[in-house]
Structures are given as C-alpha cells and as structure tokens.
C-alpha cells in the first residue's frame, strides 16, 4: 500500500532530524580533531621557541686589554714575525688581573681566565697581526664569554645549586656578578651562531656551516630531481603506450616512494662512495642520494598533475595540428606546472629534513669549516641538530632548539617560495 503525502512528509521530517544530528556530530568530531592538531602544533612550536630563543643571545665580555710589548716581544726586539707565536693568553690574563687585583695564585688565575672563551685568544691575535702598531696601546675589546657564564646569565646555572654540582665555583660567580654589575658582561645578539660552523665549544658553535651544507645539498637535489622527474612523468603520461613495461615501471616508482630512506643511504654508500669513489661527507653525494629519494615523490605528483589537465585541451591542440611535443610544451605543461611545483616542494621539504641516509655517506662528521664547494666536507641542518642533541654541555641544549628553529624558518621560506611560484603559474582563466 502506498503512503499518503502526509505520511511521507512525516517520515521525511523524522529522517531530517536524524540527518541534522548526524551532521552536527560530524562537525563536532571535525572541530575536535582540528583543535587537537592545532594544540599539538602550538605545544611543539611553543616548546621549541621557548627553548631555542635564548640561543639567539649570547654573553659577551668587554675588557680593557693592554697589548703589552713585553709579552709579545719578550727579548725586546720588535719583530712582527714573533706575533704569530706570541702568548696572547697572557694578555687576556693580564687584562683580567688588572680588573680583579686581589686574585692570587695559579689556580685562581686559571679560574678567572676560564670565564672568557678560548676564541678571545684568536680574536686578539688577529687584531694585533692586522695592525702591529697596536702593540703598546690599551684597547677596549669585546670577547665571547665562556658558555658556562652564558648559561649563568640565562639562569640555567644558579647559586642555589651546591658548588660541587655546578660547573662554576662561588668565586667565579662573584667575578661574573661583578663584571655584570659594571656592564662589562652582557647578553647580546648571538652573531656567532649565524656566521660560524660547528665547534666543540658551545659559545663558538654556529649553524652557518650546516645552513650552507643544506643549501648545497638541496641545490644538487633540486637540479637533478626536478628535470628528471618532470621528464619521466611527461614521458610516462603523455608518450609511452600502456604495456607491461610501463606498468612495471609504474609499480616500481610507487614502491620506491615507500622505501625507507636509510636504504637510499646504503645505496649511496655502495654506489657513489665505494664504486665511483666520490668524496665522503660531500654535499654533492648527499644531493645525489636525496635526489634519488625525492624522485619518486616528484614523479608521482607530476603524473597526477598531468592527469588533471583536461583532455579537451590536448584534443584541441592535436586537432589544430600541434605535434605531440608542442601539445605538451604549449598547453599541458603550463597547466600541470603548479601541481608539479607543489610535488617538488613536498619532496624538497622531505629532503631538507632527511638525516638517516646522510649518516650513511659520512655527512655526520664533526666539521668546523663552512663548506666552500660541493665536494668539501659538510653537514646539514638536521644532522647538526642530531649532533648537538647528543652533546652533554648545557649550552648545546638551547643551540639544538635554535638550529631546529633555523630549520623551520628554512622550511617556511621554501613553502612561501612555492606558493609564490605556484600563484605565478596558476593563472586561472
């Protein structure tokens, strides 16, 4: 028996209520999921920023240094050759003893000199050698303070800890307080962090070496993987006839995208280092390995982008008498470019964060110098993070987070570039 209109309507009403409820419930789930996601992002970023921000400031100590000719030219003969081997520690020591007249004995003096970073000696030597006329003058010079002093100023070392449990003695803390009171010791922008390579001494360690290493490595990766991937995608999607071989290739590309990255590292080690004899720890090899790693990702994204181009455009071009390559270059590629760029950026972002395969090819070495070429030893940002996270010094904790912040900034920059590029290509008609 068929229902009356009123009956039907009542049933629809009832089902409507149920559907509305279901919709509301689903919305609630969605909002909850998004909130949880946002919460974790905030927690993550919050903790990294809180931990990493102090790394961007560093304690510097300003001293009145007398460039004592008696120390530099002990025999009394003025010979600039001697400046290369002179005892600059004595100058620093002299300056500090001038400041704290009452310090007696070798042990106390050593403790006093410990407050200043070892880099002060090199800075001083460079300054004097650059202009030997400075010998015999007084100079107000600013040096890096030792990392322990830095940590004390940042409140990570406190007086309330028993003396035996902290790395600075009561005596040293008194000196630091005195220096601080006279404004000779203060926190400033940490230029070293952004201009230096790695170092065993936290106060002298910077991310610049790793940043340059990452730039070189990613440069190689991009130059190799983008053209190869785009060419592969175009060939497979636009030219190759579907047969058993192309199916096999397709399956393999999809499988490669899922291979753990360390396997690529082993491949790089066996092929590039052992077989081709390329240098260890080099951005060139790192870039090659990461190119292999990102290729499948970019190929898959590029093929999807090509598939998304409406077939009517191809038909139109072919119908006009465009050759296959003209069809692709004039019409298909411009429309697929935004999608290809997105895929490339996803691949590059993954490459930027990769650590495991680079460990296999020796990019984990301790490298002080900022790399100067594609074949000079280098490390990359995530490996630098890994190395610092492993260091016992308190000051490396904040540097680890600081390096992560730099890495994130790098990522944001890359994504922003991608968005700009995409918008430029994506002229919606």
Residues found near another protein in the complex (CB under 8 A): 241-242, 310, 312-323, 326, 330-331, 334-335, 427, 429
Q: Cβ closer to another protein: 322 or 346?
A: 322
In the numeric block, which tokens belong to residue 298?
A: 């970019």
For the bound state, the minimum distance from the C-beta of residue 317 to another protein, rounded and expressed in Å, comes to 7
Q: Cβ closer to another protein: 284 or 335?
A: 335
CA distance linking residue 407 with residue 203, whole number of Å: 20
- How long is the chain? 429
For the bound state, the minimum distance from the C-beta of residue 425 to another protein, rounded and expressed in Å, comes to 12
For the bound state, the minimum distance from the C-beta of residue 316 to another protein, rounded and expressed in Å, comes to 4
Q: Cβ closer to another protein: 276 or 429?
A: 429
- The three-point CA angle 211-213-219 to 5° equals 100
For the bound state, the minimum distance from the C-beta of residue 315 to another protein, rounded and expressed in Å, comes to 6
CA distance linking residue 400 with residue 55, whole number of Å: 9
For the bound state, the minimum distance from the C-beta of residue 253 to another protein, rounded and expressed in Å, comes to 20
CA distance linking residue 379 with residue 385, whole number of Å: 10
Q: Cβ closer to another protein: 166 or 331?
A: 331
CA dihedral angle for residue 329, residue 334, residue 338, residue 344, rounded to 10 degrees: 20
For the bound state, the minimum distance from the C-beta of residue 331 to another protein, rounded and expressed in Å, comes to 6
- The three-point CA angle 201-408-385 to 5° equals 30
Q: Cβ closer to another protein: 27 or 323?
A: 323
Q: Cβ closer to another protein: 77 or 243?
A: 243
Q: Cβ closer to another protein: 106 or 428?
A: 428
For the bound state, the minimum distance from the C-beta of residue 423 to another protein, rounded and expressed in Å, comes to 16
Q: Cβ closer to another protein: 114 or 250?
A: 250
> Which of 217, 191, 242 lies closest to 55, judged by CA?
191
For the bound state, the minimum distance from the C-beta of residue 305 to another protein, rounded and expressed in Å, comes to 15
């Amino acid at each position: 028996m068929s229902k009356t209109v009123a009956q039907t309507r009542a049933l629809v009403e009832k089902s409507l209520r149920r559907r509305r409820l279901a919709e509301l419930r689903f919305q609630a789930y969605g909002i909850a999921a998004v909130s949880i996601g946002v919460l974790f992002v905030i927690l993550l970023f919050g903790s990294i920023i809180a931990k990493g921000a102090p790394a961007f400031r560093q304690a510097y100590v300003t001293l009145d240094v007398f460039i004592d000719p008696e120390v530099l030219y002990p025999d009394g003969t003025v010979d600039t050759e001697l400046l290369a081997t002179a005892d600059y520690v004595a100058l620093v020591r002299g300056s500090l003893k001038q400041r704290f007249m009452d310090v007696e004995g070798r042990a106390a003096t050593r403790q006093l000199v410990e407050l200043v970073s070892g880099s002060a000696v090199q800075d001083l030597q460079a300054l004097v050698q650059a202009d030997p006329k400075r010998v015999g003058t007084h100079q107000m010079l600013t040096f890096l303070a030792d990392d322990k002093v830095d940590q004390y100023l940042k409140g990570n070392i406190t007086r309330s800890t028993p003396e035996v449990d902290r790395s600075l003695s009561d005596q040293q803390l008194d000196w630091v307080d005195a220096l601080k009171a006279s404004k000779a010791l203060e926190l400033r922008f940490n230029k070293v962090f952004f201009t230096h390579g790695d170092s065993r001494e936290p106060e002298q360690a910077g991310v610049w070496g790793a940043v340059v290493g990452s730039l070189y490595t990613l440069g190689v990766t991009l130059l190799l993987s983008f053209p190869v991937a785009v060419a592969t995608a175009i060939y497979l999607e636009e030219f190759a006839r579907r047969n058993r071989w192309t199916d096999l290739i397709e399956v393999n590309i999809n499988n490669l995208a899922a291979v753990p990255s360390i396997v690529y590292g082993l491949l790089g080690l066996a092929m590039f280092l052992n077989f081709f004899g390329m240098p260890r720890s080099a951005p060139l090899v790192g870039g090659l390995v990461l190119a292999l790693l990102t290729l499948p990702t970019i190929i898959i994204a590029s093929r999807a982008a090509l598939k998304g181009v409406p077939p009517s455009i191809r038909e139109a071009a072919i119908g006009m008498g465009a050759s296959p390559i003209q069809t692709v270059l004039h019409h298909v590629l411009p429309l697929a470019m935004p999608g290809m760029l997105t895929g490339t950026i996803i691949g590059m972002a993954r490459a930027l964060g990769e650590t495991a395969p680079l460990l296999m090819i020796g990019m984990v070495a301790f490298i002080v110098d900022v790399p100067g070429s594609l074949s000079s030893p280098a490390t990359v940002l995530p490996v630098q993070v890994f190395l610092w996270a492993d260091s016992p010094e308190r000051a490396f904790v904040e540097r680890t987070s600081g390096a992560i912040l730099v890495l994130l900034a790098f990522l944001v920059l890359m994504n922003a570039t991608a968005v700009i590029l995409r918008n430029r290509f994506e002229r919606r008609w």
